[in-house]
Amino acid sequence: MAVGKNKRISKGRKGSKKKAVDPFTKKQWYDIKAPLLFTSRNVGKTLVSRTQGTKIASEGLKHRVFEVSLADLQNDEDQAYRKIRLRAEDVQGMNVLTNFWGMDFTTDKLRSLVRKWQTLIEAHVDVKTTDNYMLRMFAIGFTKRRPNQVKRTCYAQASQIRQIRRKMVEIMVNQAASCDLKELVNKFIPEVIGKEIEKATSSIFPLQNVYVRKVKILKAPKFDLGKLMEFTVTTRRMLV
What confidence score (pLDDT) does residue 235 get?
42
Q: Taking the complete model, does pTM exceed 0.85, yes or no?
A: no
Asked if 119 and 177 sit in the same domain, the reply is yes
Asked if 134 and 208 sit in the same domain, the reply is yes
Provide the domain limits for residue 211. 107-219
Count of the separate structural domains present in the chain = 2
Asked if 143 and 181 sit in the same domain, the reply is yes
Asked if 147 and 212 sit in the same domain, the reply is yes
In this structure, is residue 227 part of a structural domain?
Answer: yes
- Going through the chain in order, the beta strands assigned E by DSSP cover 27-33, 42-49, 65-69, 82-92, 95-105, 120-128, 134-143, 207-219
In this structure, is residue 19 part of a structural domain?
Answer: no
Q: What is the CATH number of the domain that holds 167?
A: 3.30.479.30
In this structure, is residue 6 part of a structural domain?
Answer: no
What confidence score (pLDDT) does residue 69 get?
95
Asked if 158 and 225 sit in the same domain, the reply is no
List of residues 6+ apart from 46 with CB closer than 8 A: 29, 30, 32, 61, 64, 66, 96
Asked if 83 and 119 sit in the same domain, the reply is no
User: What's the Cα-to-Cα distance from 214 to each of 77, 82, 107, rounded to whole Å?
Assistant: 19, 9, 12
Asked if 124 and 199 sit in the same domain, the reply is yes
What confidence score (pLDDT) does residue 120 get?
96
What confidence score (pLDDT) does residue 238 get?
43
Asked if 76 and 174 sit in the same domain, the reply is no
In this structure, is residue 5 part of a structural domain?
Answer: no
Residues (pLDDT < 50) of the chain are 1, 234-240
On the 0-12 / 13-18 / 19+ scale of CB atoms within 10 A, 57 is: middle
What confidence score (pLDDT) does residue 116 get?
92
In this structure, is residue 2 part of a structural domain?
Answer: no
Asked if 31 and 66 sit in the same domain, the reply is yes
What confidence score (pLDDT) does residue 240 get?
39
What confidence score (pLDDT) does residue 237 get?
45
In this structure, is residue 8 part of a structural domain?
Answer: no
Asked if 226 and 186 sit in the same domain, the reply is no
β-bridge mates for residue 235, sequence order = none
Asked if 139 and 211 sit in the same domain, the reply is yes
In this structure, is residue 154 part of a structural domain?
Answer: yes
Asked if 204 and 134 sit in the same domain, the reply is yes
In this structure, is residue 12 part of a structural domain?
Answer: no
